[in-house]
Amino acid sequence: MEGAIDSKTIPLIPGHKIPVHAIGLLNNPLKAISKMIDSYGDIFNLKLAKDSNIIFVNHPDYVKHILKDNQENYSRGNAVKQSSITGLHDFLGNGIFMSDDEDWEAQHKLLKGLFSVTAIESTLPIIEDELGKLIAKWSHQVINNPTVEVEEEMLLMMMRIMLRTQVSNELNFDYNAIFNALTGRVEASSVKALFRYQLKAFTLKPLGINYKYTKHQEYLDTLNDIADKLVSGLINEEYKPSGLFAIMLADYKLNKTTRTDIRDQFMNFVFAAFDTTATAITWTLYHLAAYPKIQQQVNEELATSIQKEPDTHISNRQFPLLQLLIKETLRLYPPVWSYAREAAESDTINGYPIPAKSIIVISSYALHRHPEFWPSGDNFNIANFEKENFKGKTFAYIPFGQGKRMCVGRALAEYQMQIIVEGILQQFQLDTISKKKPEINANIIIKGTEPVRLKLVKR
Ligand code: HEM
């Protein structure tokens, strides 16, 4: 895009408006960014200091430029390291999510092997085992109480699947301890939690109380202890590793990987590999419950497919309607709802000058509702993804990102989603608890302000 169009000026958020927007961003960043877009357009600058530029971008052409056409200029690692307020760097170290350039390339090359068709299919017995246990538990439970904590159960199940398939299928993990430390860590290091801490410290100071916030560090210490034991056990060959840990051990033996690299990659997987899929499945089940006609059609699609080819496994079937439903779910509730990049060099996007070191923020939540590309964008409509309706919208829809840094686990996530959603639908009829649309909010992932619960009846 450089040089093609006359230079323009990026709208600047007026200084007196900054506090209002800052509070909005802390309370509900999804709504706040959308409101700012309504006021300032598809590109604007939140300038907090003389040399700082936080540029929000919300047009598919600009997104294409940043995530694909000129992606070498836009670093994720540097952007996330800058916002040290969330402490993500302490947590994720120099794993794939945080790395850039050759370092990223080497990690990406190594990890790609985990997402080949064969590697993905090898996770099937564990997925089926965990899903079978959950279905047995729910079948028993719904006889007396049809209300099921879908969101929480999905998170726990996907975490178990991730640990068994990527660390080891032999270990007795303390799943609850890992889960609590992880969710605690993500919550406690959110901008919101740190802001509350600062307020508390400020209020208590005149009383002579020196309040120190240590919660996020406590959770991280627990996670580090867990990782440390797992990595020691791996290196001492105390258990048979699977997936990620198997390839990391092979690399370690060749002196290509260090203990710290294994710890960091473990944290990256704990961070990126199950919360996302669990949340996507939860929202897909919610949509099936909220739209009974679609639930019936998806169920018929499954029944017809089984009738035609009774011996084919669910994972090898094609479910076009379910695919539309999942795509629409990821449009409305993209689990990873924001992208951050840092511009290495100055650049121009559609005539707008981007100073070097600017932080770029893209909200896929807002982009997926852009009125020019998604008329009635807040409304659920699976026809959005019929071929003729989706034409030309590749960069208006980015649930898995774009360019070379797009989600490396996408194929695994899609495989798991199909098996789990169809497996649950085969056994249960789903209904919502209330007809009201759930309120949503976001930390790192989009979730309901109340965890999603559904009513289940055994078929
Ligand atoms: C529905 C489920 C998932 C969604 C919506 C999702 C979404 C995303 C997105 C949007 C990014 C790119 C972020 C950016 O560009 O800043 C990303 C990156 C990543 N995802 Fe996923 N993800 C999902 C599942 C998974 C799974 C199952 C795994 C691994 C087993 C995984 C591992 C990763 C990793 C390692 C990266 C960093 C890739 C890189 O920097 O090269 N994700 N994901």
Task: Give the length of the chain.
Answer: 459
The DSSP symbol for 12 reads B
Q: Which atom of ligand 1 is nearest to the CA of 108?
A: 41
Test site for ligand 1: of 276, 331, 362, most ligand atoms within 8 A of the Cβ: 276
CATH number at residue 258: 1.10.630.10
**Is 218 part of any domain?**
yes
Give residue 86 CA to ligand 1 midpoint distance, Å.
Answer: 19
What pTM did the predictor assign? 0.94
**Is 32 part of any domain?**
no
Q: Which atom of ligand 1 is nearest to the CA of 417?
A: 1
Give residue 335 CA to ligand 1 midpoint distance, Å.
Answer: 10
Mean pLDDT per 10-residue segment, the chain (459 residues): 67 93 87 95 92 94 98 90 68 92 95 96 97 98 96 96 96 90 76 65 78 76 94 97 97 96 95 93 98 97 91 89 98 94 96 95 97 96 96 97 97 96 96 93 86 96
- For residues 257-280, b (16+ Cβ closer than 10 Å) or e, as one string? beeebbbbbbbbbbbbbbbbbbbb
Give CA–CA dist 192/443, Å, rounded: 8
* Nearest protein CA to atom 13 of ligand 1, as residue: 401
Residues 6+ apart with CB under 8 A from 228: 263
- Contact 96 CB / ligand 1 (< 6 Å): yes
Give residue 222 CA to ligand 1 midpoint distance, Å.
Answer: 24
- Contact 76 CB / ligand 1 (< 6 Å): yes
Q: Which atom of ligand 1 is nearest to the CA of 403?
A: 15
Domain that holds residue 445: 106-336+370-458
- ∠ Cα 330 273 312 (to 5°): 70
- Contact 326 CB / ligand 1 (< 6 Å): no
Give residue 276 CA to ligand 1 midpoint distance, Å.
Answer: 8
Residue indicated by tokens 């309370």: 27
pLDDT score, position 83 = 58
Give CA–CA dist 417/277, Å, rounded: 7
Q: Which atom of ligand 1 is nearest to the CA of 401?
A: 10
- Contact 413 CB / ligand 1 (< 6 Å): yes
- Contact 108 CB / ligand 1 (< 6 Å): yes
- Contact 276 CB / ligand 1 (< 6 Å): yes
- Contact 336 CB / ligand 1 (< 6 Å): yes
Give CA–CA dist 400/29, Å, rounded: 20
Number of domains making up the chain: 1
pLDDT score, position 6 = 61
Give CA–CA dist 124/415, Å, rounded: 9
**pLDDT tens, residue by residue, 160-191:** 999 999 999 999 898 988 988 888 877 776 66
Give CA–CA dist 81/88, Å, rounded: 7
Contact 298, 315 (CB under 8 A): no
- Contact 243 CB / ligand 1 (< 6 Å): no
**Is 263 part of any domain?**
yes
**Is 45 part of any domain?**
no
Give residue 116 CA to ligand 1 midpoint distance, Å.
Answer: 15
- ∠ Cα 405 408 410 (to 5°): 120
Give residue 269 CA to ligand 1 midpoint distance, Å.
Answer: 9
- Contact 331 CB / ligand 1 (< 6 Å): no
- Contact 163 CB / ligand 1 (< 6 Å): no
Residues 6+ apart with CB under 8 A from 357: 51, 53, 342, 343
**Is 55 part of any domain?**
no
- Nearest of 86, 295, 103 to residue 186 by alpha carbon: 86
pLDDT score, position 2 = 47
Give CA–CA dist 386/321, Å, rounded: 10
Give CA–CA dist 130/312, Å, rounded: 20
- Contact 60 CB / ligand 1 (< 6 Å): no
Give residue 119 CA to ligand 1 midpoint distance, Å.
Answer: 17
Count of alpha carbons within 13 Å of 106, Cβ hemisphere only? 11
pLDDT score, position 204 = 79
* Nearest protein CA to atom 39 of ligand 1, as residue: 405
- Contact 257 CB / ligand 1 (< 6 Å): no
